[in-house]
Amino acid sequence: MIDVILAIIAATAQPGPQGGTPEAAALSAPAPSAPALAAEPQEATGRFTTAAEVKPILAATRANWIHVREFNGQDLLYVTHLWSWRCGLAQVRLSVNGAAPEPWPLPECHLDEAIPNMIKEEDGMPYRSYPLGSIRQVAVEVTYDDLSREDLTFGRNGQPLE
């Protein structure tokens, strides 16, 4: 699996905007709401702790960014996938049903561990609960640690909307 991920990174990682496409502009545009954030060095280490390493993976797995699950009389909105690649992220903000985007705190990276992106029990749970059936759409703003940003909107089924 790591070989596949490394191949994706090698095939897609290039500095700066890619070919002027709208998607490339969205991936490379600085986040307007992130003045307090500072870009981090983008030295690939193979540990998936930088935007340069994480961005291609999240681009290839957009349909996994969020998940809505009905459980115990509630809608649970999960961001487990984003948490799993958080070491290359500076910030995640979510908006449910068109509300104003809210920051979704990310656990610290475990840089002293063999797998820095692992989710530990002390990191908390990667979901929030909402009234049953209330989530219709979720807008996600991901700011990478190089300060580029990607915005996607998902339907209740977790699939990106065009």
Digit-by-digit pLDDT tens for the chain (162 residues) are 444 444 444 444 433 333 333 333 333 344 444 457 665 666 767 667 888 899 999 999 999 999 999 999 999 999 999 999 999 999 999 999 999 999 999 999 998 998 999 999 999 999 999 999 999 999 999 999 889 999 999 999 988 986
Question: Is there a contact between 89 and 97 (Cβ–Cβ < 8 Å)?
Answer: no
C-alpha 11: how far from chain center: 20
pTM above 0.85, yes or no: no
Question: Is there a contact between 87 and 123 (Cβ–Cβ < 8 Å)?
Answer: no
Residue type at 23 in one-letter notation: E
Beta strands in the chain (DSSP E): 67-71, 74-78, 89-96, 102-103, 127-131, 137-144, 149-155
C-alpha 32: how far from chain center: 17
